[in-house]
């Protein structure tokens, strides 16, 4: 990566780290700002930069900085019941940035964000079931995915609005 790309990835990682700990606590899985800020990053930066930013963010949490939901951190969180949602964050740049690289349009922006959100929720719910002893798949998918579909759709709408505003202000192409 070029110096400029490294600096941008670091800056975006710092923004994610500041925003991500904010959450609305729920019984099994909190609603977090991670899944709002990370798709924005993936929507405005290319795949390489957004993936680097998210990897740096995850590494900051792994080494102990309180950057995960609720100020959590460490390997125990990454491999605990909600760890799949964190690993699933890597899906956002792989889907959103990659699809937008092919065509920067509003329908692609919305569709890519919806697809990434659903896959991330599915990965998180699957991990939740596997990491929670005794949880059946129906409970895991209901509590870990279906309960978050409406918030995910609202976040996709917010991501779309913010991305369009950023694209306009930065004169980025978005049809």
Using the predicted structure, report yes or no on whether residue 30 has a pLDDT greater than 80: no
Output the CA torsion sign for 27, 94, 136, 156.
Answer: positive
CA-only gyration radius of the chain, Å: 16
Output the CA torsion sign for 52, 84, 115, 15.
Answer: negative
Residues above pLDDT 90, as percent of the chain: 78
Using the predicted structure, report yes or no on whether residue 160 has a pLDDT greater than 90: yes
Query: How do residues 45-66 score in pLDDT, each as one tens digit?
Result: 999 999 999 999 999 999 999 9
Q: What mean pLDDT do residues 157-174 have?
A: 89
61 phi/psi in degrees, rounded to 5:
-70, -40
The CATH class of 3-166 is mainly alpha
Q: What pLDDT sits at residue 175?
A: 66
Q: Give exposure, 83-95, as e/b (b: 16+ Cβ within 10 Å).
A: bbbbebbbbbbbb
Q: What pLDDT sits at residue 156?
A: 96
The residue extents of the domains of the chain are: 3-166
**Helix and strand numbers, DSSP H then E, in the chain:** 10, 2
Using the predicted structure, report yes or no on whether residue 29 has a pLDDT greater than 90: no
């Amino acid at each position: 990566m070029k110096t400029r790309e490294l600096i941008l990835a670091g800056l975006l990682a710092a923004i994610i780290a500041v925003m991500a700990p904010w959450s609305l606590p729920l019984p099994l899985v909190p609603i977090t700002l991670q899944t709002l800020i990370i798709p924005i990053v993936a929507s405005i930066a290319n795949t390489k930069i957004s993936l680097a930013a998210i990897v740096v963010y995850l590494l900051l949490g792994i080494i102990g900085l309180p950057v995960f939901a609720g100020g959590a951190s460490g390997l125990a969180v990454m491999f605990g019941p909600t760890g799949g949602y964190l690993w699933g964050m890597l899906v956002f740049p792989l889907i959103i940035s990659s699809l937008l690289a092919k065509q920067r349009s509003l329908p692609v922006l919305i569709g890519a964000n919806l697809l990434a959100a659903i896959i991330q929720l599915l990965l998180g719910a699957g991990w939740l079931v596997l990491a929670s002893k005794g949880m059946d798949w129906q409970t895991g998918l209901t509590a870990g995915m279906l309960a978050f579909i409406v918030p995910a759709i609202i976040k996709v709408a917010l991501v779309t609005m913010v991305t369009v505003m950023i694209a306009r202000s930065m004169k980025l192409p978005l049809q």
